[in-house]
Structure 1
């Protein structure tokens, strides 16, 4: 009996393949958008906490650098909404693939809160300034750690336990 003709083995091979490069585009885009939103929330929080204003307006026209360095409250609101959507989408899609995702997020958020209180930062700065960066770092670590684990598993040359089960039942 040939394994290549068995439909159950073919279905198993199709579902156990690692995702292609196109499968990484949404995760990378979400992390990139999360970083951009983190910059805006960080600048707005620092600006309101320290009443620090950067004067980068060359003329009456709004310059992109001024929007980032002195974000208005409307941009802060949009940034928080986009950041929340990016994080929840990332977590929802990758939850089944990454068993340690919750632990990674918990470690990063706990370390951020402890570090923030150690630096005597306000609760606003910890929540809106440090936490978005911790979430972006957790997303990047989760994605890269899972990719490294998958690469190590496929390069080891050993058959996984599922492969051996399929071979026994064919």
Structure 2
């Protein structure tokens, strides 16, 4: 028995052997140095992870319009080698909202997480703004970011 329970590779191999049905479960588990209780615990943990994944997938689907709008904006960004630390995902998400408004669509709220999900999904790397922050930096060219910055709202121009 390994300390800390069963490793994933063993779980996969044991599952394959058990599905063949040629060897009794206890014998297969003994060969891998584990017990039936460890097997049951591992199976329960994997079932819980699969359930959590399905819930997260459903939640993500609820934000598909936001993610699509973000992806449209992000596709217009030129990637660069270093992180642009002048802006964070939080600022970008506001830019997407205004950019979407200016294109004539109905107002669309964009969550910070939706922006991050879209950028990661498009292959951009992220770096935390600071360890306790939910905001991240991306490797977007400052020139393309500025080109897509929306015009300020009237209340933002009043000085």
What is the TM-score of this pair, normalised by structure 2? 0.31
Structure with more strand by fraction = 2
What is the TM-score of this pair, normalised by structure 1? 0.30
User: Greater relative contact order (Cα 8 A, min sep 6): structure 1 or 2?
Assistant: 1
Larger Rg: 2
Structure with more helix by fraction = 1
